[in-house]
């Protein structure tokens, strides 16, 4: 946890031009898992992020325990049995946006390339998405799969037919100038 906070602070410190800095104003990271017995979906609106459009660096941190489920028992199992949110309280992404032009109009196809940490495991990732500049703000969207085994998230044998081995993650951020 201290390491992810330190990384985020270093990235914040490295952003130097006020007109190029953006911070999250509104966030929604959700995931969906289709399984034979039951679909599982959750959403987290408490993500903090920064983006520097001058050097295309982006970083965000997300508290795992802030995912909200329709059923409280699902939320409890998610935090205690799968994500172990007491032990691994945050997910962190740090990287760069490829394909973004600060001067272009409309939605631009981009890729976020960097390191994603989930459940204490860090992996190199490429996530496709779009960025659209609207009313001085940046709207960032992405949808990508995450394999639970890649991040050492174990599915207890008792629940193997209730939880998919891969979840679809949807990211929807609004960044405002800092």
Helices (H), 31-131: 72-77
Structural domains of the chain, with CATH: 2-177 (2.40.128.110)
> How does pLDDT run across 147-164, given as a tens digit for each residue?
999 999 987 665 555 677
Of 103, 109, 18, 3, the residue nearest 59 (C-alpha): 3
Report how far residue 119's alpha carbon sits from residue 90's, in angstroms, rounded to the nearest whole number.
Answer: 8
pTM: 0.85
Residue 36 DSSP one-character state: S
- How confident is the model over 60-116, as pLDDT tens digits? 999 999 999 999 988 998 899 889 999 999 999 999 999 999 888 899 999 999 999
Share of the chain above pLDDT 70, in %: 85
Counting Cα atoms < 13 Å in the Cβ hemisphere of 1 gives 9
């Amino acid at each position: 946890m201290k390491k992810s906070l330190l990384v985020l602070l270093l990235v914040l410190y490295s952003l130097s031009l006020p007109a190029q800095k953006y911070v999250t104003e509104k966030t929604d990271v959700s995931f969906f898992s289709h399984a034979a017995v039951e679909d599982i979906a959750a959403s987290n609106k408490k993500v903090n992020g920064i983006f520097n459009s001058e050097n295309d660096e982006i970083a965000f941190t997300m508290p795992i325990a802030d995912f909200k489920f329709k059923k409280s028992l699902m939320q409890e199992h998610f935090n205690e049995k799968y994500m172990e949110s007491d032990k691994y309280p945050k997910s962190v992404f740090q990287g760069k946006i490829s394909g973004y032009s600060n001067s272009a109009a409309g939605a631009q196809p981009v890729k976020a390339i960097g390191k994603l940490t989930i459940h204490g495991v860090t992996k190199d990732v490429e996530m496709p998405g779009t960025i659209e500049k609207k009313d001085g703000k940046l709207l960032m969207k992405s949808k990508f799969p995450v394999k639970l085994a890649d991040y050492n998230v174990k599915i207890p044998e008792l629940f193997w037919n209730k939880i998919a081995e891969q979840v679809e993650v949807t990211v929807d951020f609004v960044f405002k100038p800092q």
